[in-house]
Amino acid sequence: MPKIDESIPFEPVGFAVVIVSDTRDATNDKSGDLLEARILEAGHEVVERHIVKDDPEAIRVVVESAVQNHAIDALITSGGTGFTGRDVTPETIEPLFDKRMDGFSAVFHRISFDVIGTSTVQSRCTAGLIGTTFVFVLPGSPGACRDAWDQILRDQFDIRFRPCNFVEIMPRLSER
Give the model's pLDDT for residue 123: 94
Q: Following DSSP, what letter does each residue of 111-157 receive, concatenated?
A: HHHHHHGGGGGG---EEEEETTEEEEEE-SSHHHHHHHIIIIIHHHT
In the three-class reduction of DSSP (H, G, I as helix; E, B as strand; rest coil), residue 77 is classed as strand
Helix (H) or strand (E) holding 19: strand 14-20
Q: Where are the domains of the chain?
A: 12-167
Q: What is the pTM of this model?
A: 0.97
- As averages over each run of 10 residues, the pLDDT of the chain (176 residues) reads 93 98 94 98 98 98 98 98 96 98 97 96 97 97 97 98 97 92
Assign a CATH topology to domain 12-167.
Answer: Molybdenum Cofactor Biosythetic Enzyme; Chain A (3.40.980)
Give the model's pLDDT for residue 38: 98
CA distance 122 to 40: 29
Give the model's pLDDT for residue 154: 98
Alpha helices in the chain (DSSP H): 30-41, 56-68, 89-93, 102-116, 142-148, 154-156, 166-169
CA distance 145 to 27: 18
